Amino acid sequence: MNTIAEPEPTIASAVAAAKQAYLWSAALASPGRHIGPNLIPCRADRTPLREWRVDYPPGHEQSIGRVAYALRRSRAPNPKWRAQTYSIAPASDGIVVIDVDDMRHLARVLSVFGESPVYMNSRSGKVHLYYQGPAVPTTNGLWGNRSIDVKGAGSMIHVAGDGAYPYHQLRDRGPMGWLRPYLPPFRVDVYEEILENQRAARPSRRCADDVDERFATTPCEVDRLRRYMEVAGPAVAGNCGHDHTLYLLRNIGDLGASESLALELALDWDERNEPPWGPTEIRRAVADAYRSRRDPIGWRMRSDSDTDDATKDELQVDATMLRAALAALE
């Protein structure tokens, strides 16, 4: 039975996404800026086009020319280079976004951080809550729940097609920054307390003598990491490929891969991805994964004496957990 492939996004749909993203960013702009959070043109799977940064420093403002170039990418004749979706870098203009993927947890988020009248929904039922605040650390999995992320420094957030203020409402609204006064303050003190409690709880999963960083150096340990990459499988565009890659890189760090070894392993693994990220994007992904680490490298390493017997079963369990976590994000 033949299957019908989904059509490539058209230039018209890409242009509509560009307009939506620009108007959304402009509406959120702080006083004195010609753009709010910086724009990030992305592919259909929401990964940034090659030459675009995600980790803009706090307060960084794209030039007018850069904004115009970002918008023009929606009209690129070659789909390979065309921006098909757009994201923003919230911390570049003093914004924090809480990304809730499962509505069953929304009540808890609102009870702790308060409601925000500025939000965006997605067709899949997720919600992005917008707050005003400093460049707080980004957290994937608040309270240990992978359905709740806090997007702060070094992160991006996708601009959904539908939401509290869809395009047809944004285009007829007020001047630059008209949504800014409606952003409630982000409760930084509460957030820091949550992170501190999470850090305090984590050592209970490790042995007392395994808190310091440990690195995979022996041939057996490095081979174990290679097999882990093989079991985890490739990243597939349009099927949570970006999340799969970052989750995998964090896991091999837990298993003792230094950043340089992780880069070596990831470059070999990238050949199986659909499509491959390429060396530049792989280097950036490895740097992002290691910069956002909160656990010591190697905290999940076994001793050499019990590695061989347990490796295969543990890798299969980890791969199952990885696939389950990715399925929960869909």
In a domain, 3, yes or no: no
In a domain, 172, yes or no: yes
Same domain, 51 and 133: yes
Domain that holds residue 307: 206-329
At 197 the pLDDT is 85
Query: Mean pLDDT score of the chain, rounded to an integer?
Result: 80
In a domain, 6, yes or no: no
At 164 the pLDDT is 60
Same domain, 287 and 308: yes
Could you give the angle at which helices 259-269 and 279-291 cross, rounded to 10 degrees?
140
C-alpha to C-alpha distances, 270 to 169, 263, 281, nearest whole angstrom: 42, 10, 10
Helix (H, G, I), strand (E, B) or coil at 259: helix
Contact between 159 and 88 under an 8 Å Cβ cutoff? The reply is: yes
First to last CA, the chain: 26
At 191 the pLDDT is 94
Assign 3-state DSSP to the chain and report helix, strand, coil percentages, each to 5: 45, 10, 40
At 97 the pLDDT is 95
Last residue of some domain: 144, 166, 196? 196
At 56 the pLDDT is 86
In a domain, 264, yes or no: yes
Distance (Å, whole) CA 198 – CA 146: 13
Same domain, 62 and 119: yes
Helix (H, G, I), strand (E, B) or coil at 28: coil
Last residue of some domain: 196, 221, 249? 196
At 300 the pLDDT is 77
Same domain, 181 and 254: no
Global pTM value: 0.62
Residue stretches of the chain with pLDDT short of 70: 1-9, 123-124, 161-169, 171-172, 201-211, 238-240, 302-330
In a domain, 1, yes or no: no
Same domain, 180 and 265: no
Contact between 286 and 249 under an 8 Å Cβ cutoff? The reply is: yes
C-alpha to C-alpha distances, 323 to 70, 140, 176, 266, 326, nearest whole angstrom: 34, 16, 42, 18, 5
Q: How many domains does the chain have?
A: 2
Last residue of some domain: 149, 165, 196? 196
